[in-house]
Structure 1
Amino acid sequence: MAVVGRRDKAQQSLRSRIAIAIVIGVVTGCLIAFYFPHGLILSYPAVRSRPIGVSNIQVDSSSCESSEHIKMLKSEFVSLSDNNSKLKKQIRDLKHKLQLVEQGKDHAENQILVLGEQHKAGPFGTVKALRTSPTVVPDKSVNPRLAQILEEVAVEKELIVALANSNVKDTLEVWFSSIKRVGISNYLVIALDDYIVEFCKSNDVPVYKRDPDKGIDAVGKTGGNHAVSGLKFRILREFLQLGYSVLLSDVDIVYLQNPFNHLYRDSDVESMTDGHNNMTAYGYNDVFDEPEMGWARYAHTMRIWVFNSGFFYIRPTIASIELLDRVADRLARQENSWDQAVFNEELFFPSHPGYDGLHAAKRTMDFYMFMNSKVLFKTVRKDDKLKKLKPVIVHVNYHPNKLERMKAVVEFYVDGKRDALDAFPDGSE
């Protein structure tokens, strides 16, 4: 068997050498034909037989004939080259396949870098998937001035960030007063007009105003709550690129504890919910009834109430930055879109034909710890046990008279005034 194997290898080697020799011969012949159209051995008698007094016209005619001859040889060369087209195509195909293999290799290597060492699946019930994405490499060149401010303000590369203009000056004051009362130092107000800059400085509040931007300045100075909310996704991008995790906060929020002591930090986005109980906050199986379908009348659906885009913790990961880009782009193109709706659609809509979903990890915050005003005014204030619970924050997101309710929250939880919340209706009537 070994002899036969060596014989086959020898025959293959011989065929390869023959094929190479044929290709070299063809190419060499083509080159000789191109560069020596009259042959390697010139016919001197033919040259000597030419009349001495050849006219200029005859010379030009000879040049034309030579040019035609060259064209003919070029045509022959092209014809001969066509014989190698299949070989060239095969080489291109092989190169393409090699490129795909290299890309696959790079992708696999990147996955290994992201996910770490590969492991075998463990016994049943013991397998846990990775949840925490790696952070991006900080890039100070994005905004050197902001980078300097964040180095002074942030703690462990984290901080609370809020956007504000002069329209929300009063609620902003309640907001930062509650933060100071709790003892939080890592927070920053992004001022959208000069009035807020001076107001924050006069109250010893860390403040940052972006470099002039006509589009942002116009919306920031005159826009309402929804308009300002749309800006935050564009502005937050720079914070993430600089390598900082941000707890984005609206200003209609009262802080009662330090939120950084209650975060899990295991997801790209960790957000408070608009839900008001376990089902609405964390998800439930909702059955859709369609009687005309007969025995198949019941269709099961999965539902969850939206994340609140006015209070969420976002880590500096690629998925998080892609989320901000997607939301900012849609809000820029769709003028009547609500930022919270777009925020949730980009987070939750799965990939489907014609659409690539966002691959981002997400976590819903405890709705009793990170409390919205619906939970507070419809449930908590009416329950003696729940009234004893001290939440981390209260977000007055469900009600229009924000300032009055924020002050009442402070009176109830900070000053101990037990009837401070009683005068308000459940809703906005």
Structure 2
Amino acid sequence: MVVTMMGRREGSLLRSPPSTAMRGSRIAIAVAIGVFFGCIFALLFPNGLFRFDSSQEHRITSRSSRVANSSPCESPERINMLKSEMVTLSQKNAELKKQIRELTSKLHLAEQGTDQAQKQVLLLGEQRKAGPFGTVKGLRTNPTVLPDESVNPMLAKLLEKVAVQKELIVCLANRNVKNMLEVWFESLKRVRIPNYLVVALDDEIEALCKSNDVPVYRRKPEEGIDSIGRTGGNHAISGLKFRILREFLQLGYSILLSDVDIVYLQNPFEHLYRDSDVESMSDGHDNFTAYGYNDVFDDAKMGWARFAHTMRIWVFNSGFFYIRPTIPSIELLDRVATRLATDSKAWDQAVFNEELFYPSHPGYEGLHASKRTMDMFEFMNSKVLFRTVRNNENYRKLKPVIVHVNYHPDKFPRMKAVVEFYVNGKKDALQPFPEGSAW
């Protein structure tokens, strides 16, 4: 039985299935057809289907040979010419990079806003024809600088919260002026001016501001400034502001710098022109002294030429001025701060005005800053108030924007009297005070 089964298996293995036999015959037929067509193509196309032009091959070979042979044998003239071309291209590339930088700068300026200063700076590079007689006006408003928040990131974040339209009032104070500071910020709150900031020069002022919900900024410790800030008097503190204000301008903010002996009766930002680098109140007491006049000097020894004409103006008050973030403004701060640091006897207000008004002359390059004098009845000094206004019924009806008690040393009682007169309506509040003060 076992043998029979083995025989059956062998028989089944030796027999090929019909499908396998058919597949083998098909392969043989395909091979035969391929050989047949191959013979036909060999007879019809003895050189093959694709012919290559031997002359073209010769040209390519000879060209590559010439290039290979000429490379190491380049003439000195050719090398010099290539070097010259490289220098020319490098110069053109540098010029293009410069143009890109200039265009990028102008683009940044254009993106800052649409005020007149930015429009003017975009035209500075163009030459323009003069217009008809009487219509020509020079540039009065310098462009603002690009803000640089890396100067003081902490201050930059604070100013974003406090400033309104990139403007704010800034005041420096230490414990020596605490009483006046309280009158100062209460007057601001009364007029509802939100954009103001106290630069506290000691812990006591910082605590006072925080307890009264007054925006305050405490600078990082700096020995040269802190020693003056802690113990300095009114003039010493006033001199510090030129160094401290620089950071505010670099951050792109316009600052209305305010001394502490000022009472606010209206919002000053509604009375500014903003067309100059510096817009300042005057120490003048009438139209001539505040805005300038022709003062004739008489030198009798000169005979026919005895009369010499001079131009005079009372100084700007460095305790209340609006300054825009421009290059001339920052240069002004640098100049004043440098002179005050090197001359202990210098008075900041005198230096401030000298740098603003002195023209260029041999050995000195003047500051090219534009300036405007504020209306003396809107931004009123205490000489105007106590000499003129309180004694004139028509002037007494005027309501100034601010009153600066700059002419009198008894500042605190006079500040309170100003509040009584203009805010509380006490008509005789100004009368007890003398016109001047004891020397």
Please say whether Structure 1 and Structure 2 have the same fold, judged by a TM-score greater than 0.5.
Answer: yes
1:310 has 2:323 as partner = no
**Partner in structure 1 of residue 255 of structure 2:** 246
1:130 has 2:139 as partner = yes
Matches of 1:417 and 1:196 in 2, distance apart?
31
Structure 1 residue 129: deviation in Å? 1.5
Matches of 2:371 and 2:127 in 1, distance apart?
24
Structure 1 residue 115: deviation in Å? 3.2
Query: Residues 175-232 of structure 1: CA distance to partner in whole angstroms, max 9, x if unpaired?
Result: 0000000000000000000110000000110000100001111000000011111100
Structure 2 residue matching 1:272: 3-state secondary structure: strand
Query: Residues 384-411 of structure 1: CA distance to partner in whole angstroms, max 9, x if unpaired?
Result: 0000000000000000100000000000
2:242 alignment partner, one of 191, 214, 233: 233
**Partner in structure 2 of residue 68 of structure 1:** none
Structure 2 residue matching 1:200: 3-state secondary structure: helix
Aligned residues: 335
Matches of 2:320 and 2:433 in 1, distance apart?
23
**Partner in structure 1 of residue 387 of structure 2:** 378
Matches for 1:204-283 after TM superposition, within 5 Å: 204-283=213-292
Query: Residues 264-286 of structure 1: CA distance to partner in whole angstroms, max 9, x if unpaired?
Result: 00000000000001100000000
Structure 1 residue 116: deviation in Å? 6.7
**Partner in structure 1 of residue 408 of structure 2:** 399
2:174 alignment partner, one of 142, 150, 165: 165
**Partner in structure 2 of residue 35 of structure 1:** none
Structure 1 residue 121: deviation in Å? 1.4
1:320 alignment partner, one of 325, 329, 347: 329
Matches of 1:388 and 1:115 in 2, distance apart?
46
**Partner in structure 1 of residue 115 of structure 2:** none
Tell me the amino acid that sits aligned with residue 348 of structure 2.
D
Distance 1:112 1:223, change over 3 A: closer
1:411 has 2:411 as partner = no
Distance 1:252 1:114, change over 3 A: farther
Aligned-residue sequence identity (percent) comes to: 75
Matches of 1:253 and 1:117 in 2, distance apart?
45
Q: Is 1:281–1:364's contact at 8 Å kept on the other side of the alignment?
A: yes
Tell me the amino acid that sits aligned with residue 282 of structure 1.
Y
**Partner in structure 1 of residue 195 of structure 2:** 186
1:349 has 2:358 as partner = yes
Matches of 1:411 and 1:226 in 2, distance apart?
27
Structure 1 residue matching 2:158: 3-state secondary structure: helix
Give the CA RMSD over aligned residues.
Answer: 2.4
Structure 2 residue matching 1:319: 3-state secondary structure: helix
Query: Residues 63-119 of structure 1: CA distance to partner in whole angstroms, max 9, x if unpaired?
Result: xxxxxxxxxxxxxxxxxxxxxxxxxxxxxxxx9xx99xx99xx8xx99963637543
Query: Residues 360-417 of structure 1: CA distance to partner in whole angstroms, max 9, x if unpaired?
Result: 0000000000000000000000000000000000000000100000000000000000
Matches of 1:158 and 1:391 in 2, distance apart?
21
Q: Is 1:283–1:304's contact at 8 Å kept on the other side of the alignment?
A: yes
**Partner in structure 1 of residue 21 of structure 2:** none
TM-score (norm 1): 0.75
Query: Residues 241-288 of structure 1: CA distance to partner in whole angstroms, max 9, x if unpaired?
Result: 000000000000000000000000000000000000110000000011
Q: Is 1:170–1:403's contact at 8 Å kept on the other side of the alignment?
A: yes
Structure 1 spans left out of the alignment, 5+ residues: 1-22, 28-94
Q: Is 2:121–2:143's contact at 8 Å kept on the other side of the alignment?
A: no
1:387 alignment partner, one of 396, 419, 429: 396
Structure 1 residue 422: deviation in Å? 0.5
Matches of 1:404 and 1:120 in 2, distance apart?
58
Matches of 1:219 and 1:112 in 2, distance apart?
40
TM-score (norm 2): 0.73
Structure 1 residue 130: deviation in Å? 1.6
1:296 alignment partner, one of 281, 300, 305: 305
Distance 1:178 1:157, change over 3 A: same
**Partner in structure 2 of residue 44 of structure 1:** none
Distance 1:155 1:379, change over 3 A: same
